[in-house]
Amino acid sequence: MASVVLRGSLGVPLNRLVRPTIMSVSQQLRQQSQSRQISSSLPSYLVTPKQLNEALESSNSSTPPSSRIIPLCAAWFMPNDPEGRKGIDVFRKHRIPHARFFDLDEVKDPDSPYPHMLPTCETFAEAMSNIGIRRDDTVVVYDTEELGIFSAPRVGWTLRVFGHPKVHVLNNYRLWVREGYPTETGEPAPVEKTEYPIPTFQSKLVVPFLEMKEIAKDYVNKGEEEIEILDARSAGRWAGTDPEPRPGLSSGHIPGSKSLPFQELLDPETKTYLSKPELEKVFQEHEVDPSKTIISSCGTGVTATIIETALAEAGFGDAINHRVYDGSWTEWAQRVKESDNLIKKSV
């Protein structure tokens, strides 16, 4: 029989309730500055396998038990994955002991035609309850061994958008496996549900479509603005020379945006984040101005958060000014009109 691990697969549909409560700007700024709270047992937002393993061992052996540390698997693959891989299958195959599973294809806005749009506060709380996470838990999000760093930053960012106090991202599970830290396999056991409180939505972290459209229109009409837009998609998709993976979707880019493929921020072999000096060098080479508000975008809002996390890791600019366009290119290309002149191609 397979070894047992706690699981929250969210196998039942999540009900959509009301839209999130929006905070005042002053509240947003205060909580934004606290949105990367660090656990006393983990030294930074990005943690190494060694740091996580030591923290887990310390937490498990302490008397009385210290605050729980929950590994959270964010495994996710593109819908056109050539091997047809699914995150939940990878989670069942091998995972960090006692990990939970966060399903990006389930924990979203079910009424949106665009993939992975942020859920309501109520839906998020229900999801966290279903996977047995409490608000005082330290959560360490991790990716698949195959991809290294891919969707974990999105889940980490999502938890911060909904104000979870202690969130970290493992850098990364590929190294966790290579360095011989524990894993387990098989069908996980059910997890005991919790009562996760309804959170407050931190809108300062998120750029909605209408705001993004006004920013782009200002760029078209006035030229360079005090905002940087970084696009994590491939250079060909940004330029409009390569097709989008979703059929029928135009490629190209938002006016004023710069191409910064997320792979440039990762080690080509281990797929871990580059070092702080290396990350800073990448941003400098792309002429990113750290004094400006920096908005990250991509295809569906997943790899944009790789940039957002890298900016924080490099200490590049003020974290208060780092934001993510949630709908990203999939929403943009379907909502702007041809007459708006807001899809650019470098051909």
Three-state DSSP string of 76-93: CCCCCCCCCCCHHHHHHH
Tokens encoding 30: 């205060």
Average pLDDT across the chain, whole number = 88
Give the Cβ contact number of residue 111 at 10 Å: 8
Contact 294, 310 (CB under 8 A): no
**Per-residue confidence (pLDDT) for residue 2, from 0 to 100:** 39
At residue 190, φ and ψ (nearest 5 deg) are -60, 155
Catalytic residue check, 73: no
Mean pLDDT lowest for which of 3-7, 158-162, 235-239, 263-267? 3-7
Say how far apart CA 176 and CA 168 lie, in whole Å. Answer: 15
Do 131 and 47 fall into the same domain?
A: yes
pLDDT at 37: 57
313 and 45 Cβ atoms separated by less than 8 Å: yes
CB 155 within 8 A of CB 104: yes
Q: Which of 201, 221, 245 is the last residue of a domain?
A: 201
Q: How far apart are CA 260 and CA 228, in angstroms?
A: 12
Answer yes or no: is 211 within a domain. yes
Question: Is there a single domain that holds both residue 230 and residue 168?
Answer: no
CA distance 58 to 56: 5
Task: Indicate if 289 and 176 belong to the same structural domain.
Answer: no
Is there a domain that residue 5 lies in? Answer: no
246 occurs within a structural domain? yes
What is the residue range of 212's domain? 204-340
Q: Would residue 2 count as lying in a domain?
A: no
State yes or no: pLDDT of 24 exceeds 90: no
State mean pLDDT over 211-231.
Answer: 92
Looking at the fold, whether 147 and 249 belong to one and the same domain comes out as no
84 and 46, same structural domain? yes
Q: Which of 298, 304, 311, 324 is catalytic?
A: 298
pLDDT confidence of residue 189: 80
Residues 6+ apart with CB under 8 A from 329: 231, 233, 237, 244, 249, 253, 254, 297, 298, 299, 300
What is the CATH number for 254?
3.40.250.10
- Ranking 23-37, 155-169, 213-227, 235-249 by mean pLDDT, the lowest is 23-37
226 & 109 share domain: no
At 4, is the pLDDT very low, low, confident or very high (cuts 50, 70, 90)? very low
Q: Residue 141: what are its φ and ψ, rounded to 5°?
A: -90, 140
Residue 163 Ramachandran class (φ > 0 left, ψ -120 to 50 alpha, else beta)? left
342 burial via Cβ count (<10 Å: 0-12, 13-18, 19+): buried
Q: What pLDDT is recorded for position 124?
A: 98
The pLDDT of residue 188:
86
Q: Domain tally for the chain?
A: 2
